[in-house]
């Protein structure tokens, strides 16, 4: 079992390696934890915003980026007869957002699974003895002594196994396995 990459990451490694054959500037890094070019960062930011906006639309809201106005504006009363379409839009938006965020981690040479496990650990520890504390908006509150995710520790432990973390190489191997082609 692979302890560094989720299925979404492996899929991103495949698609991003294929895309890099057409646009080499978007190639995955060969070194883990690498900041990509400004062009790649801008591209990833646009993808995330686009997918998040689609998710919000499925929830019945539009994101308003005009200064001094409410960030979210309710744009639709949900039609109870269109429930299935609405749920499908939310599912698609959420899953697409996860996918492009996972791809953004790949663009930075970051294996997702160890960091997801660390965030899950930190979030789970917000419920000592199974008890939740919520603020007035319904957000879970951090208990006294709560320790947030330690991404630096995870990074250090992952980079000790650099050979397992060359996302560019793994992407090339994934393309070869799926297509029979050595170079995408």
132: left (phi over 0), alpha (psi -120 to 50) or beta: beta
C-beta contacts of 169-172 below 8 A and 24+ residues apart: 169/30, 170/5, 170/10, 170/13, 171/13, 171/14, 171/16, 171/17, 171/20, 171/28, 171/106, 172/17
Mean pLDDT over 53-64 rounds to: 82
The 10s digit of each residue's pLDDT in 68-120 is: 556 656 555 555 556 566 788 889 999 999 999 999 999 999 999 999 999 99
Contact indicator for 170, 2 with CB cutoff of 8 Å? no
Task: Tell me the pLDDT of the chain averaged across its residues.
Answer: 85
Contact indicator for 122, 116 with CB cutoff of 8 Å? no
Contact indicator for 47, 93 with CB cutoff of 8 Å? no
Return the domain boundaries, the chain: 7-116+146-179
The 10s digit of each residue's pLDDT in 138-163 is: 888 888 889 999 999 999 988 876 55
| CA distance linking residue 21 with residue 44, whole number of Å | 18
Q: Name the pTM for this structure.
A: 0.83
Q: What is the architecture, at CATH level 2, of domain 7-116+146-179?
A: Orthogonal Bundle (1.10)
């Amino acid at each position: 079992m692979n302890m560094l990459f989720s299925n979404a990451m492996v899929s991103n490694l495949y698609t991003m390696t294929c895309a890099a054959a057409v646009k080499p500037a978007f190639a995955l890094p060969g070194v883990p934890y690498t900041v990509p070019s400004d062009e790649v960062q801008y591209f990833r930011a646009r993808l995330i915003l686009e997918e998040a906006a689609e998710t919000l639309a499925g929830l019945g809201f539009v994101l308003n980026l005009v200064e001094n106005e409410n960030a979210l504006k309710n744009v639709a009363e949900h039609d109870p007869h269109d429930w299935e379409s609405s749920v499908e839009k939310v599912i698609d938006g959420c899953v697409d957002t996860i996918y492009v965020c996972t791809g953004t981690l790949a663009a930075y040479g970051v294996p997702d699974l160890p960091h997801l496990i660390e965030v899950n650990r930190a979030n789970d520890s917000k419920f000592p003895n199974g008890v939740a504390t919520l603020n007035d908006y319904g957000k879970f509150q951090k208990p006294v002594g709560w320790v947030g995710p330690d991404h630096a520790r995870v990074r250090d432990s992952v980079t000790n196994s650099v050979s397992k973390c060359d996302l560019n190489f793994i992407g090339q191997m994934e393309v070869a396995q799926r297509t029979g082609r050595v170079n995408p």
